[in-house]
Amino acid sequence: MQVFAYVRVSTKEQNVERQIEALKQFDIPKRNVFIDYQSGKDFDRPEYKKLIKKLRNGDLLVLKSVDRLGRNYTEILSQWRRITKEIGADILVLDMELLDTRKKNGDLTGVLIADLVLQILAYVAQTEREFIHQRQAEGIAAAKAKGTRFGRIPKQMPDGFDNACKMIATGEMSIREAAESLGISLSTFYRHYRKVKSNTRKYET
């Protein structure tokens, strides 16, 4: 059996020493410590991939905390099963002693409790995400009801825009000439002119 450790921080500017210090009690060889300087949003990480290739049945993977493994609990559950069920290695999370799949007194209590705790954590995380989205939607709806507008503020057209539109309709001026006379880009002028034109075609004769 070999003992491995996985350490992760989001950027190279962040310090990994706190995690390394917590792992010292296991006297893990440096070659078995895998460190990623990358976001935990998914598992597309170079050192994590190397670790998975090294793990064997009966090995132990030590983590400082479960969020070092990842941030997305749906994917954490998938990787947890991959390591403990498919590979057959154990996982120990130092910050949460219930997340320890090692057999206790020869039975499977550790595995069962760890799986249950992780599923509860995943459920809580998913529920919290849904609550956040719901609160955001409710907040936006309430703000809109009060007249708050979202998105980019429409650009105001210069004085003379209405007159330029009339002159285009009568053939006295081209769209390009109108845009140049107002000092705005052709695309900006045309976008607003098209809206005005489609609005009951009020400038056509």
Tokens at 115, concatenated? 């799986």
Residues 67 and 118 in one domain: yes
Contact 61, 23 (CB under 8 A): no
Q: Domain boundary at 126, 149, 184, which?
A: 126
Residues 120 and 167 in one domain: no
Over its length of 205 residues, how does the chain's per-residue pLDDT go in tens digits?
899 999 998 888 888 898 999 999 999 999 999 999 988 888 899 999 999 999 999 999 999 988 888 878 888 888 998 999 999 999 999 988 888 888 765 566 667 777 888 888 777 766 766 777 787 777 777 777 777 766 665 667 888 888 888 888 888 888 888 888 888 888 888 888 888 777 645 444 4
Q: Domain boundary at 64, 99, 126, which?
A: 126
**Is 181 a residue of the active site?**
no
Residue 36 domain boundaries: 3-126
Q: What is the pLDDT of residue 60?
A: 95
For residue 50, what are the contacts with CB-CB under 8 A and spacing of at least 6? Answer: 34
Contact 35, 23 (CB under 8 A): no
Residues 13 and 104 in one domain: yes
Q: What is the pLDDT of residue 107?
A: 61
- Residue 172 in any domain: the answer is yes
Q: Domain boundary at 100, 126, 152, which?
A: 126
Residues 105 and 172 in one domain: no
Burial grade of 132 (CB within 10 A; 0-12, 13-18, 19 or more): exposed
